[in-house]
């Protein structure tokens, strides 16, 4: 157990969809004195997968700030009434599953959900079946390479745990934080977690370290990792940044939110504006 110590491309796309870009974000100071230009990935193309007009036409209400990618490469979103699957054919509601506090697909494609202090999975019958009782209500969930991570976003004890659930095993406590754990991602042997507005990196047999933080009162809310490139992406909700080998750069200064990486592509979901974009194959 360990304890933590405390671009124009997007703007034009949002304008075309009727959205308004946010004010440009200040680039954080790099962690090293000099970083090569290649340290910041260059987004040359972008796909707008969801925008407010499409959300309205599909009957989506206000969206939760969470999404995931199914084994069939469909995007799973949630409003107060339903989970929704978004694909090239449109948006299809999934009845009987919402509301939930969190959801994620396992590495082998099983949908898991958190509702209250119950961890459930989507059975072949199409219903949620309870799996285990969680130590606190409303925990977050994220997939690892061959396991799932569960993390406390609220706690009566003011100690917030990160747990790992492996197939056929009980959940084990990996570490505790004095601040709520807001997001978790996995990259090879590293576990990345957002707590206290910063990104921490936990690697077996190595000291915990701060990987990224932003100046002033800005707080990081989401993190994702690309194991192939070694980049870690993070967002404060207003912009997206990337860090690799200690070099930090801005990926998008006008769009931020919940992040996911799949096959080298970066997905960015701004739930408030109901905008979801994909940056394919960042270089």
What are the angstrom distances between the C-alpha of 195 and each of 143, 212, 255, 276?
Answer: 18, 11, 21, 24
Phi/psi for 15 (5° steps) reads -65, -40
Q: Would you state the pLDDT for residue 47?
A: 93
Task: Compute the Cα dihedral for 57, 48, 94, 258 and give only its sign.
Answer: negative
**Residues 215, 197: contact at Cβ < 8 Å?**
no
Closest CA relative to residue 138, chosen from 115, 162, 122: 115
- Residue 138 region by backbone torsions, left for phi larger than 0, else alpha for psi between -120 and 50, else beta: left
Q: Would you state the pLDDT for residue 189?
A: 87
**pLDDT (mean) for 240-245:** 92
What are the angstrom distances between the C-alpha of 4 and each of 29, 48, 213, 224, 257?
Answer: 23, 37, 14, 20, 24
What are the angstrom distances between the C-alpha of 81 and each of 23, 50, 95, 224, 272?
Answer: 32, 18, 8, 27, 17
**Residues 48, 34: contact at Cβ < 8 Å?**
no
Tens-digit pLDDT profile for residues 83-120: 999 998 899 999 889 899 999 999 999 999 999 999 99
Residue-averaged pLDDT of the chain: 86
Cβ-based neighbours of 196, under 8 Å, separated by 6 or more: 4, 6, 177, 178, 179, 219
The Cα–Cα gap between 93 and 248 comes to 39
Q: Would you state the pLDDT for residue 41?
A: 67
Tokens of 245: 């080998």
Whether residue 275 has pLDDT greater than 60: yes
Whether residue 4 has pLDDT greater than 50: no
Q: Would you state the pLDDT for residue 67?
A: 97
Q: What is the DSSP letter of 3?
A: B
Q: Would you state the pLDDT for residue 8?
A: 38
Helix/strand/coil percent split, the chain, to 5: 5, 45, 50
Q: Would you state the pLDDT for residue 73?
A: 93
Three-state secondary structure call for residue 1: coil
Tokens of 151: 């993390």
Tens-digit pLDDT profile for residues 211-240: 999 988 899 999 999 988 899 999 999 999
Tens-digit pLDDT profile for residues 44-87: 688 999 999 999 999 999 999 999 999 999 999 999 999 999 99
Q: Would you state the pLDDT for residue 21?
A: 44
Residues written for the chain: 283
Give the other-Cβ count within 10 Å of 128's Cβ: 19
Supply the pTM of this predicted model. Answer: 0.86
Tens-digit pLDDT profile for residues 199-213: 999 988 888 899 999
Closest CA relative to residue 260, chosen from 138, 121, 105: 105
Tens-digit pLDDT profile for residues 154-177: 988 889 999 999 988 788 999 999
């Amino acid at each position: 157990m360990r304890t933590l110590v405390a671009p124009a491309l997007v703007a034009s796309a949002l304008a075309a969809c009727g959205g308004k870009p946010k004010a440009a974000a200040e680039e954080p100071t790099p962690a090293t004195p000099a970083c090569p230009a290649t340290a910041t990935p260059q987004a040359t193309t972008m796909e707008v997968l969801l925008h407010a007009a499409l959300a309205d036409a599909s009957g989506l209400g206000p969206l939760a700030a969470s999404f995931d990618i199914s084994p069939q490469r469909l995007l799973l979103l949630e409003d107060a009434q339903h989970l929704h699957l978004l694909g090239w054919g449109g948006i299809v509601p999934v009845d009987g599953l919402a509301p939930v506090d969190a959801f994620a697909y396992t590495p082998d494609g099983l949908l898991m959900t958190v509702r209250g202090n119950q961890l459930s999975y989507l059975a072949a019958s199409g219903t949620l079946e309870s799996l285990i009782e969680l130590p606190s209500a409303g925990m977050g969930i994220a997939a690892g390479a061959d396991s799932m991570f569960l993390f406390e976003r609220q706690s009566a004890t003011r100690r917030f745990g990160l747990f790992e659930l492996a197939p056929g095993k009980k959940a084990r406590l990996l570490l505790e934080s004095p601040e709520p754990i807001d997001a978790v991602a996995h990259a090879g042997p590293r576990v990345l977690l957002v707590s206290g507005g910063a990104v921490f990196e936990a690697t077996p047999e190595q000291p915990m370290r701060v990987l990224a933080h932003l100046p002033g009162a800005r707080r990081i809310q989401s993190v994702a990792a690309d194991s192939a490139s070694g980049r870690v992406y993070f967002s404060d909700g207003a912009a997206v940044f990337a860090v690799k080998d200690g070099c930090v750069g801005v990926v998008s200064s006008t769009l931020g939110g919940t992040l996911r990486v799949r096959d080298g592509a970066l997905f960015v979901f701004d739930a408030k504006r109901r905008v979801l974009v994909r940056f394919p194959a960042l270089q």
